[in-house]
Structure 1
Amino acid sequence: GGVDQTFFALRKNEDLLVVQIYVDDIIFGSTSKKLVNHFVKLMSSEFEMSLVGELSYFLGLQLKQGNKGIFLHQGKYANNIVK
């Protein structure tokens, strides 16, 4: 076998849509609400999907989104190691 591509990016004018697939989980985001809505509509027409809202935890990474950007950390993981 080979390696399956799991990260996809689409740039449309000044906007960007990024998609990451891991097993049966998909995370995605965009600078454009229109691109997000189009992606959700397209994927929902092909697959059964449940949207859970803003991403806060994925593959051991905790994520916090704010006005100045996105902060990634592994606080839960670090706390479990030192216990």
Structure 2
Amino acid sequence: MVYVDDLILIGNDHSMIQHTKETLHTTFKIKDFGELKYFLGIEFARSNRGILMHQRKYALELIADMRLAGAKTITIPMVSSNSEDLVLEDPTGYHKLIGTLLYLTTTRSDQTLLLLCKV
């Protein structure tokens, strides 16, 4: 998997992975961060049953960044008025929150990224 300048090598042949890293190192400056633990907001936890991928840390950071830790739920989270004077002065924080929530919900690690494979 490649994302901009980040690369994940996976496989069950450790010598082939090592050879690939050495080949890449001859052409590019690379850093080996060891066993995969966190990538693009997704945490990886290994067990004898397989690899569990989740976004707990990402979600907690979102809650902290948006200062929502003490927020209380309400039945209707939106203003139910047709008033046009409810425009945000600076929508930047709102845009960031929506973008982050979209990323969190489209990756859906709780349902789509659970891998149960032998490690």
TM-score (norm 1): 0.69
The alpha-carbon deviation at position 77 of structure 1 amounts to 2.2
Structure-2 separation of matches of 1:32 and 1:67: 18
- The corresponding residue for 1:31 is 12
Distance across 2 between alignment mates of 1:36 and 1:66: 21
CA RMSD in angstroms, aligned pairs only: 1.3
Structure number with the bigger relative contact order (C-alpha 8 A, sep ≥ 6) is 2
User: Following the alignment from structure 1 to structure 2, what is the Cα–Cα distance between the partners of residues 64 and 75?
Assistant: 12
How far did 1:36 drift? 0.5
Report the structure number with the largest CA radius of gyration: 2
- Deviations for 1:15-41, whole angstroms, at most 9, x for unmatched residues? xxxxx1111111111101111111111
Residues 1:70 and 2:70 aligned together: no
Q: What do the CA deviations read for 1:30-73 (whole angstroms, capped 9, x no partner)? A: 10111111111110111011111111110110111122110001
Unaligned runs of 5+ in 2: 70-119
Higher helix share: 2
Q: C-alpha displacement at 1:78, in angstroms? A: 2.3
Q: Using the alignment, how far apart are the partners of 1:41 and 1:77 within structure 2? A: 32
CA distance in 2, matches of 1:48, 1:78: 32
Shift >4 Å, 4+ stretches = none
- The equivalent of 1:56 in structure 2 is 37
Number of aligned residue pairs: 64
CA–CA separation in structure 2 for the residues paired with 1:52 and 1:34: 17
Partner of 2:93: none
* Structure number having the greater strand percentage: 1
